[in-house]
Amino acid sequence: MTQFNDTFLKACRGETVPHIPVWYMRQAGRYQPEYRKIREQYSFFDINKNPEVCANVTQLPVDQLGVDAAILFADIMTPLKPIGVDVNIVEGVGPVIDDPIQSMADIQKLGQLHVQRDLPEIPETVQILTDRLHVPLIGFAGAPFTLSSYLIEGGPSKNYHKTKGFMYAKPAEWFELMDTLADLTITYLKSQVEAGARAIQVFDSWVGALGTDDYEKYIFPTMDKIFTEVKKMNVPTIYFGSGAGHLVNQWADLPADVLSVDWRLSIEQARNLAPNKTIQGNLDPSKLLAPWDMIQDETKSILDQGGSKPGFIFNLGHGIFPQADVATLQRLTTFVHDYTRKNHGGAE
């Protein structure tokens, strides 16, 4: 039997590891020929509805790339459907909602999530994977700001004017929406942990659009509540945002164990801003298209910064994209393992 690989969990907890663990955001997706083949038969949400297929898609990058963690295959929008949001994933665009939120009445119409009733396939998929995998499974959810950006804009946005306008002009509605989404997120994450997820990541991809004062006032209390609740489940918690380096100092005060940063902030800077946290990141995914020597140099620099003390996880600064190459990701994963086993491995 293959031994369970717990390097990722150890790194989350800031413990010494034999090599720096690596996984990739969006490691299951269209850059994989096998995934594209499955998508010829199933729509995105059809995969989600079918635990056996969903488990296979989740496991694919673990077998193919040799990463140290799996992440449940779903979308941040998955738990919004059952509470009454009519969301479609449009290829090349992202989540689209025809009837965006505009008022208190729209928010009050949103239902409550009962996972066993509404999304039984999620814990079922988690259970299949927990039995099958020899690496930890990461459960995840979208953070309230990032979810609300889709709910209010009706789709992806470059500047979040509508979302921020709503936040500034309608604070009572805003905080009602944050509360509703926080409850949803907590319920959804707890169900994944109860089913066997060994860590959780909260994706706040677009929160970097806010300044520090706005983050403090409109977002921090909600994130504090989410991480405080999930921490009670005794699994490591990770918080990710892109373009959010200016917020990392505030994130250091959240009860999350790991902060995931992008390439706009160096690992060393992140460490200085949040010395009490494990740091995850931060290769620019665009670099996957660079010549190998450049990828290797950049990766070495990231690993030397991250490996200077325990508590580092290698990842990209944001998700893998369809044009990336499987062979490059395989080579990168092997490089991270080999280089850090030689240079940064602690005594076990």
| Best CA proximity match to 316, nearest among 15, 16, 29 | 29
Please choose, out of 92-100, 167-175, 249-257, 289-297, the segment that lies near ligand CP3 by the rule CB under 6 A. Answer: 92-100
40 part of the interface to ligand CP3, by CB under 6 A: no
The answer to whether residue 207 forms part of the interface with ligand CP3 (CB under 6 A) is no
Q: Which amino acid is at 319?
A: G
Determine, following the binding rule CB under 6 A, whether residue 79 of this chain makes contact with ligand CP3: no
Choice from 79, 95, 144, 236 touching ligand CP3 (CB under 6 A): 95
Residue 6 beta carbon to ligand CP3: minimum distance, rounded to whole angstroms:
20
CB of 313 to ligand CP3, least distance (A): 14
Please pick, from the candidates 9, 10, 68, 75, the single residue that binds ligand CP3 as defined by CB under 6 A: 75
Q: Does 27 bind ligand CP3 (CB under 6 A)?
A: yes
Among 9, 11, 20, 28, binds ligand CP3 (CB under 6 A): 28
β-pairing, 94-97 vs 87-90, is antiparallel
Question: Does residue 160 interact with ligand CP3 by CB under 6 A?
Answer: no
What is the closest distance, in whole angstroms, from the C-beta atom of residue 249 to ligand CP3 in the complex?
Answer: 22
> x/- site string to ligand CP3, residues 55 to 74, per CB under 6 A?
----------------x-x-
The owner of tokens 């955001």 is 25
Residue sitting closest to ligand CP3 (CB): 205
Cα dist from 297 to 18, 31, 56, 179, 335, whole Å: 22, 24, 33, 44, 11
| Active-site entry in 6, 24, 31, 75 | 75
- Catalytic choice (31, 35, 150, 239): 150
Residue 108 neighbours by CB distance under 10 Å: 10
Catalytic-residue membership of 150: yes
- SS3 state of residue 183: helix
Look up 132 and say whether it is catalytic: no
CA distances from 25 to 152, 252, 262, 282, 333 (A): 25, 21, 11, 11, 13
* Closest listed residue to residue 85, CA positions, set 155, 145, 143, 139: 155
Helix (H) or strand (E) holding 199: strand 199-203
> In the chain, helix, strand, coil percent, each to 5?
50, 10, 35
What type of residue is 54?
A: C
Q: Closest distance between ligand CP3 and the C-beta of residue 278, in Å?
A: 19
Chain-centroid distance of CA 72 in Å reads 10
What CA–CA distance (Å, rounded) separates 13 from 22? 15
Asked whether position 44 contacts ligand CP3 by CB under 6 A, the answer is yes
Q: How far is the CB of 77 from ligand CP3 (least distance, A)?
A: 6
Q: How far apart are the first and last CA of the chain?
A: 21
Nearer to ligand CP3 by Cβ, of 27 and 280: the residue is: 27
Which pair of structure tokens corresponds to residue 274? 């949040």
Q: In angstroms, rounded to a whole number, what is the distance separating the alpha carbons of residues 183 and 114?
A: 11
Q: Which of 2, 92, 131, 291 binds ligand CP3 (CB under 6 A)?
A: 92
Choosing from 6, 24, 26, 204, the catalytic residue is 26
Q: Which is nearer to ligand CP3, 307 or 316 (CB)?
A: 316
Window 273-332: residues binding ligand CP3 (CB under 6 A): 318-319
User: Does the annotation mark 39 as catalytic?
Assistant: yes
Is 75 a catalytic site residue? Answer: yes
Which SS3 state, helix, strand or coil, does residue 281 take? strand
Residue from 13, 39, 132, 331 carrying the catalytic annotation: 39
Residue linked to tokens 């995998």: 133
- To the query of whether residue 198 is one of the catalytic residues in this protein, the response is no
Q: State which H helix or E strand residue 222 sits in.
A: helix 220-231
Q: Which residues are catalytic?
A: 26, 30, 39, 75, 150
Sites of contact with ligand CP3 (CB under 6 A): 25-30, 39, 44, 71, 73, 75-76, 89, 91-92, 94-95, 140, 203, 205, 318-319
